Amino acid sequence: MARKFSELRDRMSPESRAKSQALAAEMLAVMDLAELRRGQSLSQGELAERLEKGQPAVAKVESRDDPHVSTVREYIEALGGRLDLVAHMPNNETILLKSLSSKSE
């Protein structure tokens, strides 16, 4: 008999639940651009229309190893998101790089 996930989760110990949540957050935090687009239920063609570009341009961006920050920003904004670039310094300081991030609304 199939069980609902919520029933299984409710039976987990607090420690197991915390580990599971941390693992899920880590997995969600590591995506490439194509996975991000698919997560928004968009095809390359649909995103290309939003970007006013051709579908091959979207495919090219998704396959590049080192796209320009401005290209990634435009891509993320076309998905309805905002790009924030953060520097993690050796002294554990975290700095938002304003000039490379999306403009605030």
Domains of the chain, by residue range, sit at 32-105
Q: Assign domain 32-105 to a CATH class.
A: mainly alpha
Dihedral of CA atoms 19, 86, 72, 100 in degrees, nearest 10, equals 170
CA angle 24, 73, 62 (to 5 degrees): 70
Q: What is the pLDDT of residues 27-63, one digit of tens each?
A: 767 789 999 999 999 999 999 999 999 999 999 999 9
Q: Using an 8 Å Cβ cutoff, are 25 and 67 in contact?
A: no
Q: What is the pLDDT of residues 74-87, one digit of tens each?
A: 999 999 999 999 89
Which of 72, 75, 47 shows the shortest CA–CA distance to 85? 72
Residue 48 CB coordination number (10 Å): 19
